[in-house]
Structure 1
Amino acid sequence: MSTTGGFTSSGLLQEELLLTLPALDMADAVEIGEIAKSFGIQRDLPIAVEVRLGDWIIYHASLPGSTAENQWWIDRKARVVMLKHHSTMYERVSAQERGVDWHKENNLLDETHAIHGGGLPLITKDDGLSGVLLISGLPHVQDHLLGVEVLTEFLARKGELL
């Protein structure tokens, strides 16, 4: 496997706890998507962004420089998060730390499930996994970091950061 950005599985689990949302409804999903889009526009990033509640696509934006292939990546990342309830980066790092082939371990194909950064679970305090934030278009570590930044900004706007 390629780079994991120096992440550890324990650090990524802690990150998920810190990024737990107070709640998540359609308006929140749109706001998360708008934050990601605004960061992408401000920084001239060639990204596609999607926010889903379950399998329902609530928000999608493809910015200049992104391609149709980004949707293939988004769908593959979404399947991993919905299956495992953790970020795609966590799944990648955890598999590497344990020395296992994630796809073989889960009897899944890389063509359908991508353990590349950029798929982040939208976990709420009361309901657990409620949705997924998906970013594609940058090197996968940067996709993940941008997602973390988006959720951090969303929580800051809600007054939820410790």
Structure 2
Amino acid sequence: MSSEVADLIARIEEQQERLQFITFTHDDAWRLGSLIVGLGQERSLGITIDITKGDQQVFHAAMPGTTADNDDWIARKIRTVRRYAASSFLVGRRHVLAGTNFNEVTGLPLSLYAAHGGSFPIVIRDAGLVGTVTVSGLPQADDHALVVEALETFLGL
């Protein structure tokens, strides 16, 4: 199992290196968010989608089947990405590999931070973290995979 988790960590690290932007505007947020909404509609997914730029929420959509709990999960995943400048899934998988509990080891409350898949850093190459794109509503690996798929499509990779 640890080699599987280590392999997954390496894949997520590669995704973060590859899925970076040259620029990221409000219009980009709208197009990326709309792309994810379209994927969710095509697949009848009960997901909530959120995109931030800096401290501003620039896109948010909740599909049928979601609740306010999805908004709460999104907020906790975003805080994790911002704090660690890494995908929420990557942060969580690193703790799984180490055999530790993220919230216990860091002292960060689960009510505010969640190291579960679904929030991905929006990084401007050579400038750093400028925002997040987050999905909530599926199992965490699927939340992460949907975000990665949308970023690959959006960036033409």
Give the TM-score range, shorter chain. Answer: over 0.9
Q: Distance in 1 between matches of 2:85 and 2:114?
A: 14
Letter of the structure 1 residue corresponding to residue 61 of structure 2: A
With over 3 angstroms needed to count, the CA separation of the structure-2 counterparts of 1:7 and 1:29, relative to structure 1, is: farther
Matches within 5 A, 1:106-145: 106-145=106-145
Q: Does the Cα contact within 8 Å between 2:117 and 2:144 map onto a contact in 1?
A: yes
Structure 2, unmatched stretches of 5+, are none
Cα offset, 1:52, TM superposition: 0.3
Runs of 4+ in 1 over 3 A off after TM superposition: 4-7
Count of aligned residue pairs for this structure pair: 154
Residue 90 of structure 1 pairs with residue 93 of structure 2: no
Note closer, same or farther for the CA distance 1:96–1:46 as it changes in structure 2 (3 Å cut). same
Does the Cα contact within 8 Å between 1:54 and 1:82 map onto a contact in 2? no
TM-score by length of 2: 0.92
2:58 aligned with 1:35: no
Kept after mapping to 1: 8 A contact 2:35/2:150: yes
Q: Percent identity?
A: 31
Aligned with 2:116: secondary structure?
coil
**Greater share of helix residues, 1 or 2?**
2
> C-alpha separation between the residues in 2 aligned to 1:72 and 1:63?
15
Aligned partner letter, 1:86: A
- Where does residue 23 of structure 1 map in the other structure? 23
Matches within 5 A, 1:44-55: 44-55=44-55
Equivalent-residue separation in structure 2 for 1:144 and 1:24 (angstroms): 20
- Give 1:18 shift: 1.2
Task: For residue 6 of structure 1, report the CA deviation from its aligned partner.
Answer: 8.1
TM-score, with length taken from structure 1 = 0.89
Pair 1:72 & 2:76 matched:
no
Give 5+ residue unaligned stretches, structure 1: none
User: 44-53 or 104-113: which moved more?
Assistant: 104-113
